[in-house]
Structure 1
């Protein structure tokens, strides 16, 4: 699979793959400058369409690589839309065991919000945090405030 061959039904901002010979993952990065009430559904759609494309393209007999969706929000206001599907869906208690929740990976980067990667990484990783880099420049595409590059592997 190469990045250009993983097309989605809906437009996403960036698709990248990571393969070091041991770990193979696909990263889909969505930049949001405004709050989108349907973003959690869109993120889930991107992820599952990504898996569908991998299945159709590779016809693999082994397990598929993970598809990671990262939503970077750079709006002026604090994000107030759902971050997980259960915040949008009225889940009846009788059918709760059949409901599969979806947690969106949202990273808010605004003038009013400070984002601490170490605190966020501590939720998922123990010990030394995965390497990442962050650059601030005068102007980024879509008026983003920062560009962040990360490779995070959880074993």
Structure 2
């Protein structure tokens, strides 16, 4: 299931069929900065969540997008839960492989629950409320 405004949500089967020539997988203890010399030639980087309580992939995603300027598909794999999708999008993920048994429609509804944020993030550098946005015109 795909929604251009949000993360591309994939089933395990869709992920296994989605092959690419320039795909790199990083474990949680690998430093994304080791990819700096070739990041512009990589199509997809897969970051793994071994357990939903292990958030190191969020930091890796942020570094890849902000410090290295990675423009390709940044994919979350592993123990991906619906509750994590908003934070994944905000830290730079562009696709996520849902756990088996998770309904993609339920996952997509998560984005409707939180349509905007007060803080900037990797996905949007302009927060909804900027300084002066609530001031009354004279």
**When the two structures are superposed, what TM-score results if normalisation uses the length of structure 1?**
0.29
Bigger helix fraction: 2
- The one of the two structures with greater contact order (alpha-carbon pairs below 8 A, sep at least 6) is 2
Bigger strand fraction: 1
**When the two structures are superposed, what TM-score results if normalisation uses the length of structure 2?**
0.32
